[in-house]
Amino acid sequence: MKHLTRNVGIACIVCSVLTGCSTHSRHSSEASSSNSVQPSGIQIESSVREQVSWMLDAFTPIAGQALPNKSVLAAYEFRNFEPIWIKDQRLDSSIYRLVEILDQAYSHGLNPVHYHLQTIKEYLALKKPTAQQLAELDVITTIALSSYAHDISNGRYEPHLIDPNWQLDAPSNDWKNLLFLDSPAHMVNYLPTLAPRQPDYQVLQNWLAFYQELAQKEGDVHVDYGLLLRLGDQSPRVAQLRARLVQLGDIRFSARKITENYFDQELQTAVTRFQKRHQLDADGTVGTQTIQALNVPLEERARQIAYNLERWRWLPSQLEDNRVWVDLTDYTAHIFLNERTERMKVVIGKPDRKTNVFYGKMTYMVVNPTWRVPMRIARESLLPKQQENANYLTEHGYHVYSSWSIGARQLDPLTINWHDIQPEELRYRFEQAADDENALGRYKFMFPNKFDIYLHDTPARHLFNEGVRAFSSGCIRLERAEDFANLLVAGYRKGQQQLADARESQETRVVPLNHSLPVYLVYFTVVPNTNGMPEFRNDIYQRDALMKEAMGYSPLKAKDSI
């Protein structure tokens, strides 16, 4: 289980041991007798058993927190409470390799503070540790290892606690396996294999390091606001623009001589490149919106990348070869099917009717579907339109039924006094017939889910010409639904015939798929583009703000804050 926050109080509690208080005071006689001699293995093992119980009981989960107590306890029970990191009264050298890995946690967008790094270092600095201190070091190191293994594999935070609309979470138990490997060296070496292996994750990691290093070593090059900058202009602001684009990687180093403050063709090309990867109008001129994007601090960009690394950790470690990947922030469906790849524009939910992030399995399609209008849409959209126009339902092919129950009577909308009905009182069921006016178009692609979200056709073709395509009530409208239907039955003769028959009949027909097809509705605000550059997208649903509130993350190592 992931968690919204994890208590870092271990450091606070055990640091008292290092200063001669708390637990240490309860064992002062042992400490005094052990400082002059090396503790025995029996002494350490006895203390490990005591410290595992004491430490794990001390850290009670609060709020959304979940500690890996059971996994750590099981690991020690498996070894009959023998120390993991200490053999023959000597520290295993792998503990230092683990410290190096934890020290680099920020390269994954994680905070080393959460893994008790400083406390472990303080224990390692002790010249003559007691048996109790060695036991405490062993236990806290195992807790750190377990926590990091979980976080790098599954993500540190529980996604639906950050954002209720985010329901895609694919936790893996693989991280627990390393706690039962036969040596600390094998455990530490196993850690890197737990991070997501998706190419996008690895590319984003590189860009996170790039922005972290830039922010710490160079700082931000600022572009002053002013009049529109365009090809042929010459001013000090052009020099600022050029310097910022060089810093961000949109202008590659060139040995040719240039005039820094002159807006030449190369600079225009770089501006266009920058605009495309920030979802701006790519016109090659620099106005207020482009300058705003240019002036977003490097540290903020690093933070955005860290949020998206966490989102990758919420996904399955292995994605299916055949799948539909609907990228909500890009308004695009990527279809991977039978070694073919297709891209289609999509329309997603409005900001006040967000499309949920989740996973499902498509099992059938409906040809010439009727549309049973969800009650929310009926109350918020249909009722006001019918109150304005008494013939609206009839003109648009809607049938009205007395209730949502099976066998409900069909009613004549002209016999109902719609003006006397308040939205919260509406109980009728509305269904739109299968025709050219139907909101679902000619195809509906079903992957049963609790949100009643699906992919479908649409008669509102003009919306696909828009750049920002958030106009639906939550479902996904496909640009080329007919092509998608053909792809689903390609190579499946029975399905092809059923699809052809359904089209010809003009009746509502169900066409089962030969195999279920995984469907992912995902949300990323930073992705690598085709050139490997980071593409910073508009946060249409304001989900990054929720990540920021939950993570409280500083992306720069020097600021290791919680």
The catalytic site residues sit at: 456, 475
Task: Find how far residue 478's CA is from the centre of its chain.
Answer: 23
One-letter identity of residue 239: A
Describe the crossing of helices 236-248 and 265-276 by its angle, rounded to 10 degrees.
50
Comparing CA positions, the residue from 365, 104, 56, 349 lying closest to residue 209 is 104
Describe the crossing of helices 94-103 and 131-154 by its angle, rounded to 10 degrees.
50
Which residues are CB-neighbours of 227 under 8 A, at least 6 positions away? none
Place of tokens 């710490």: 216
H helices within 60-130, ranges in order?
Answer: 69-78, 94-103, 117-124
How would DSSP label each residue in 261-325? TB--HHHHHHHHHHHHTTTS--SS-B-HHHHHHHTS-HHHHHHHHHHHHHHHHTS-SS--SSEEE
Phi/psi at 455 (5° precision): -90, 145
Long-range CB contact pairs, 270-278, < 8 A, 24+: 270/245, 271/241, 271/245, 273/533, 274/245, 274/248, 274/250, 276/529, 277/529, 277/533, 277/534, 277/535, 277/536, 278/535, 278/536
Output the CA–CA distances (angstroms, integers) from residue 481 to 19, 270, 355, 436, in the order listed.
69, 36, 19, 14
Comparing CA positions, the residue from 332, 279, 299 lying closest to residue 539 is 279
Residue count of the chain: 562
Question: Max alpha carbon distance in the chain (Å)?
Answer: 98
Inter-residue contact 325 to 333 (CB < 8 Å)? yes
| Dihedral over alpha carbons 49, 54, 57, 63 (to 10 degrees) | -120
Q: What is the CA radius of gyration of the chain?
A: 30
